[in-house]
Structure 1
Amino acid sequence: MSSADLKKVGLKVTLPRLKVLEILEQEGEEHHLTAEDVYKILIEQGEEVGLATVYRVLTQFEQAGIVRRLNFENNISVFELDTGDNHDHLVCVKTGRVKEFVDPIIEERIKEIAKEKGYELSAHSLVIYGTLKDDLK
């Protein structure tokens, strides 16, 4: 996403917005970041941005459809870029680590269930909770 894309969604191009966007893009789909995670990365990069600014930027991005805010059972909001795709999540209950997955069989079955029950599917959310084997150590 570029500064032109920010303008298209009605956001002024500012250094904090560009930096937060850059972090979200660099982390890729394996990372779902809290506002605090983004803030820590900015501090490590030597940026002078406050935590309140990070929260404000992420909220603005959410309202503009740039990011999705995900709230899992650990009561912590994590953010991911809204790429428009449909995927589901695995959450480690010990560490809070989030992994994405797509399973065509599950996707098809969800559509079938909605149809069987008389629903026109508009969206769905599937979250699987467990403990990642590597985190058991």
Structure 2
Amino acid sequence: MADKNHELRKVGLKVTLPRIKILQVLERHADDHLSAEDVYKALIDAGEDVGLATVYRVLTQFEAAGLVDKHNFDGGYAVFELSTEEHHDHMVDVETGDVIEFFDEELEALQHKLAESHGLELVDHSLVLYVRKKQS
């Protein structure tokens, strides 16, 4: 718990029980992309008394503080994942809604080359590929 207190203080947030509980849910699901409703359900399932409005408010605060990244994939709702130092892109299965993270050095290099060909420097990007299983 002390580690989470430090994490929250480091980004300028006051340590509160709801913030700690929500951070714990996100850490337990670090490989997932959770909606506010998913976080709320996980809290309820764990017997925690945190309202849905509080979950939305805390996730917004976490995003502003850089603790989480928010994604609005087409055809879906906002999902959140813990921020990491390591860049990755996403594939979203249009039939199941599953989110697959990936990193491809060749693709990253191509994006930088494309920006440079226009006399620009790539400083950030977000790439989402919408996919489905191949039909036989």
**Which TM-score applies when normalising by structure 2?**
0.92
CA RMSD of aligned residues (A): 1.5
- Give the counterpart letter for 2:119 in structure 1: G
- Give the counterpart letter for 2:61 in structure 1: Q
Q: Where does 1:1-137 land on structure 2 (aligned, <5 Å)?
A: 2-29=4-31, 31-132=32-133
The whole-number CA distance in structure 2 between the counterparts of 1:119 and 1:86 is 20
Question: Cα distance, 1:75 vs. partner?
Answer: 3.8
Gaps of 5+ in 2: none
- Give the counterpart letter for 1:96 in structure 2: G
CA contact (8 A) 1:74 1:96 kept: no
Structure 1 residues 56 and 132: CA distance shift in structure 2, 3 A: farther
Identify which range, 55-64 or 2-11, moves more after superposition.
2-11
CA contact (8 A) 1:94 1:131 kept: yes
Question: Cα distance, 1:132 vs. partner?
Answer: 4.8
The whole-number CA distance in structure 1 between the counterparts of 2:93 and 2:57 is 27
Question: Cα distance, 1:9 vs. partner?
Answer: 1.1
How many residues are matched? 133
- Give the counterpart letter for 1:55 in structure 2: Y
Q: Give the share of equivalent positions with the same residue, in percent.
A: 55
- Give the counterpart letter for 1:131 in structure 2: R
State the SS of the aligned residue for 1:112: helix
Gaps of 5+ in 1: none
The runs of 4+ residues in structure 1 deviating greater than 4 Å are: none
What do the CA deviations read for 1:94-115 (whole angstroms, capped 9, x no partner)? 2222111011111111111111
What do the CA deviations read for 1:60-97 (whole angstroms, capped 9, x no partner)? 00000000110110141000111122110010112222
Identify which range, 106-115 or 91-100, moves more after superposition.
91-100
What do the CA deviations read for 1:105-130 (whole angstroms, capped 9, x no partner)? 11111111111111111101111101
The whole-number CA distance in structure 2 between the counterparts of 1:107 and 1:120 is 13
The whole-number CA distance in structure 2 between the counterparts of 1:90 and 1:84 is 19
